[in-house]
């Protein structure tokens, strides 16, 4: 082996990186025991960037392409070291390859519930989770701010910090949005854009960007969800009387199927409920038909007399009263109120004219017709 072959073996002629992982963000070119040869070829593939660091200082950043490492290609590097001397003096540089592609399907979520004030439910707590993507937009900044001298930097090393930023901004935006909890599912796209904009401003200082941010789910604590389910069930039940009868029939059936659950108690309870249901159904007739002939029963006591209404009247923008019907009759006879006077009583839908209230219309007598022969 000649001296030329020996010297050729002491230098690196081709510098490149082929990534066979899914989570490596930065990889340092191994050059231990080697020196970079003047005129060596640097291959930077699509989705990569190459950062040269010389003696602790960032020298150059190369975008995708094929480069010959010569003086005219590295103007900054030339000022740091005598490249024009053709490596006549010992020279070594560190080369970091940065992955600039997107890292997809990264998870985020709230570790603890977020407190907020809901317009409908008042103070409540919510949880949320989703996915996001990250990519390096400024390799030099990312290397100096985050990576440092790490020879192989993966996404796992920065994902925890990004998740903390996401949860912080999500909590702040969601608490100040004023969107009701029941409407958040319909606004996840807009909320995602708002939160992504806030996060991007922070991670840009790391040389990163958040191209996509998704909110997959916003949920309430179990106790609040249970109360909400009960409220929904009440709305679906409709007629509570019929729903109670149906529930009683279901309980009777369940008790009859499990007589051993409580000794004879289940059977007795089912029998008692069955007799009560049978009595109601007998009074109603089969399947809603005409009721069956009623059995003679003891005379029921008369109902209590109806409660007398009291009335308020509106005069000159003020409310007066309350007055009984008899008092209003005396006022009508004295001309203190007319048919056009507005009146109101409990249970009435707004103010009405006295002549439009059936109970008061009779207070205003109609004048008799003229006598015969007039």
What is the distance between the alpha carbons of residues 150 and 147, in angstroms, rounded to a whole number?
Answer: 6
pLDDT number for residue 210 = 92
DSSP 94-140: EEEEEE-S-EEEEEEE-SSPEEEEETTTEEEEEEEEEEEEEEES-HH
Between 24-38, 97-111, 157-171, 206-220, the lowest mean confidence (pLDDT) is in 24-38
pLDDT number for residue 86 = 45
Q: What are the E-state strand segments in the chain?
A: 11-15, 24-28, 35-44, 48-54, 57-62, 65-68, 94-99, 103-109, 114-118, 122-136, 152-154, 208-209, 213-219, 261-264, 310-315, 318-324, 342-344, 352-353
pLDDT number for residue 132 = 93
What is the distance between the alpha carbons of residues 185 and 289, in angstroms, rounded to a whole number?
Answer: 47
- Note the Cα 217 to chain centre separation in Å: 6
pLDDT exceeds 90 at position 222: no
Looking at the DSSP assignment, which residues form a beta bridge with residue 136? Answer: 208
Cβ contact 219:128 at 8 Å: yes
The phi, psi pair for 351, rounded to 5°, reads: -80, 140
What is the distance between the alpha carbons of residues 71 and 91, in angstroms, rounded to a whole number?
Answer: 14
pLDDT exceeds 80 at position 232: no
Task: Give the residue carrying structure tokens 């949005």.
Answer: 177
Task: Write out the H or E segment, with its range, that includes residue 331.
Answer: helix 325-333
Tell me the pLDDT band of 100, cut-offs 50, 70 and 90: very high
Cβ contact 144:220 at 8 Å: no
pLDDT exceeds 70 at position 9: no
Task: Give the residue carrying structure tokens 């910090």.
Answer: 161
Q: Which residue has the higher pLDDT, 156 or 79?
A: 156
pTM metric for this prediction: 0.54
pLDDT exceeds 50 at position 223: yes
Query: Over the stretch 181-193, which tens digit does the pLDDT of each residue have?
Result: 888 888 888 888 8
Three-state SS letters, 269-299: HHHHHHHHHHHHHHHHCHHHCCCCCCCCCCC
Query: Over the stretch 256-309, which tens digit does the pLDDT of each residue have?
Result: 777 555 544 555 555 555 555 555 555 555 444 555 555 555 677 777 766 677
pLDDT number for residue 36 = 67
DSSP-based three-state secondary structure for 43: strand
The CA distances from residue 292 to 285, 287, 299, in Å, are 5, 12, 19
Cβ contact 312:320 at 8 Å: yes
Task: Pick the closest to residue 307 from 341, 344, 342, 346 (CA basis).
Answer: 346
Tell me the pLDDT band of 2, cut-offs 50, 70 and 90: very low
pLDDT exceeds 50 at position 247: yes
pLDDT exceeds 50 at position 6: no
Query: Over the stretch 75-85, which tens digit does the pLDDT of each residue have?
Result: 444 444 444 44
* DSSP state for residue 178 in the 8-state scheme: -
């Amino acid at each position: 082996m000649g001296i030329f072959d020996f010297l050729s073996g002491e230098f690196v002629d081709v510098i490149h990186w082929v990534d066979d992982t899914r989570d490596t963000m930065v990889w340092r070119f191994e050059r231990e025991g080697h020196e970079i040869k003047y005129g060596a070829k640097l291959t930077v593939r699509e989705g990569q960037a190459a950062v040269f660091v010389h003696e602790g200082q960032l020298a150059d950043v190369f975008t995708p392409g094929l480069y010959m490492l010569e003086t005219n290609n590295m103007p900054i590097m030339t000022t740091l070291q005598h490249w024009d001397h053709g490596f006549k003096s010992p020279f070594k540089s560190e080369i970091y390859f940065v992955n600039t592609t997107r890292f997809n399907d990264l998870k985020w979520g709230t570790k603890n519930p977020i407190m907020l004030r809901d317009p409908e439910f008042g103070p409540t707590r919510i949880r949320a989770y989703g996915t996001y993507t990250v990519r390096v937009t400024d390799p030099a900044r990312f290397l100096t701010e985050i990576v440092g001298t790490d020879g192989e930097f993966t996404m796992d090393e920065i994902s925890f910090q990004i998740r903390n930023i996401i949860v912080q901004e999500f909590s702040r935006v969601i608490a100040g949005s004023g969107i009701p909890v029941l409407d958040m599912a319909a606004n996840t796209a807009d909320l995602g854009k708002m939160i992504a904009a806030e996060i991007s401003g922070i991670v840009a200082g790391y040389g990163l960007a958040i191209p996509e941010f998704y909110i997959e789910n916003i949920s309430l604590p179990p106790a609040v969800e249970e109360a909400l389910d009960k409220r929904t069930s009440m709305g679906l039940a409709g007629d509570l009387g019929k729903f109670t009868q149906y529930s009683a029939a279901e309980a009777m059936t369940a008790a009859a199927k499990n007589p051993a659950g409580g000794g004879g108690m289940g059977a007795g309870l089912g029998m008692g409920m069955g007799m009560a249901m049978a009595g109601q159904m007998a009074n109603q007739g089969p399947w809603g038909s005409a009721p069956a002939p009623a059995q003679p029963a003891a005379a029921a006591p008369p109902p209590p007399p109806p409660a007398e209404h009291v009335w308020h009247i509106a005069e000159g923008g003020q409310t007066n009263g309350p007055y009984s019907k008899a008092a209003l009759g005396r006022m009508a006879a004295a001309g203190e109120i007319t048919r056009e006077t507005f009146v109101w009583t409990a249970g009435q839908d707004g103010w009405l004219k006295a002549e439009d209230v059936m109970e008061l219309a009779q207070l205003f007598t109609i004048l008799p017709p003229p006598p015969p022969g007039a």
